[in-house]
């Protein structure tokens, strides 16, 4: 059994030994730092350590780089999807407007042709639209949206851009029935301008 004096002596001896080791390490570190600063003797050691440490550093940075890459790709994909949706909407709107413009242009051309033909007629001209068409293959008739309230009367001629196309056979207050000159049961008096001959144009039933 050791005495208290021996234990305290061993403890003091251990403290002195640790102090000397620490002092020695400090001296070695200072010496190495001074030598490296003066003549760069430890560059090879640093390079070797950097090669050894690089995989560890790359492994530590891998989760952060992966997260940044995934976040960037998700943001880019979201932005591309939003841009694609915006462009599709713009394209759809442009297509609808283009169709509307084409329809308006065709309607404008048709109305100009009608107005041009009406300008050659000295009487009052009334523009009408077709409401329905008779589906009977042996009858070529249709209903227009003008009637006696608009001044339509039975026997009135119907014109288009090329001339006479039909005649009113029934007039109601808000609509009228028209028979085409090509109807087999219809005939209309005509006059040949070249020689003044008056005759009748009879429909053949061909559409």
Look up the CATH number of the domain holding residue 153. Answer: 2.40.10.340
Q: How far apart are CA 187 and CA 181, in angstroms?
A: 7
Residue 54: what pLDDT? 76
Q: Is residue 168 assigned to a domain?
A: yes
Q: Is the dihedral of CA 150, 120, 162, 123 positive or negative?
A: positive
- Between vectors from CA 82 to CA 62 and to CA 95, what angle results, nearest 5°? 150
The whole model's pTM is what? Answer: 0.40
Q: Is residue 86 assigned to a domain?
A: no
Domain that holds residue 132: 126-202
Looking at the structure of the chain, the number of domains it has is 1
CA distances from residue 126 to 77, 106, 117, 138, 153 in whole angstroms, order as listed:
60, 20, 12, 28, 12
Contact 188, 167 (CB under 8 A): yes
pLDDT tens per residue across all 207 residues of the chain: 445 555 555 666 667 777 788 888 888 777 777 766 666 656 666 677 777 777 877 787 778 788 878 877 777 888 888 888 888 888 888 887 888 788 777 777 777 766 665 555 555 678 888 899 888 888 889 999 999 998 899 988 888 777 788 889 999 999 999 999 888 887 777 777 777 788 877 777 776
- Residue 73 burial (CB count, 10 A): 10
Contact 187, 200 (CB under 8 A): yes
Q: Is residue 69 assigned to a domain?
A: no
């Amino acid at each position: 059994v050791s005495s208290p004096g021996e234990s305290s002596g061993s403890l003091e001896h251990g403290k002195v030994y640790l102090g000397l080791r620490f002092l020695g390490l400090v001296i070695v570190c200072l010496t190495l730092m001074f030598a490296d600063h003066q003549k760069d003797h430890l560059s090879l050691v640093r390079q070797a350590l950097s090669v050894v440490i690089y995989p560890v550093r790359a492994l530590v940075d891998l989760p952060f780089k992966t997260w940044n890459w995934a976040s960037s790709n998700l943001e880019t994909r979201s932005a591309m999807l939003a841009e694609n949706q915006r462009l599709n909407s713009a394209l759809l709107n442009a297509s609808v407007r283009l169709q509307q413009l084409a329809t308006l242009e065709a309607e404008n051309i048709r109305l100009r042709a009608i107005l041009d033909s009406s300008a050659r007629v000295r009487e009052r001209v009334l523009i009408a639209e077709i409401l329905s068409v008779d589906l009977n293959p042996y009858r070529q008739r249709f209903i227009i949206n003008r009637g006696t309230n608009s001044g339509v009367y039975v026997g009135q001629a119907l014109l288009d851009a090329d001339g006479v196309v039909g005649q009113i056979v029934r007039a109601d207050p808000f609509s009228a029935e028209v028979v085409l000159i090509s109807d087999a049961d219809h005939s209309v008096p005509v006059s040949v301008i070249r020689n003044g001959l008056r005759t009748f144009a009879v429909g053949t039933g061909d559409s």
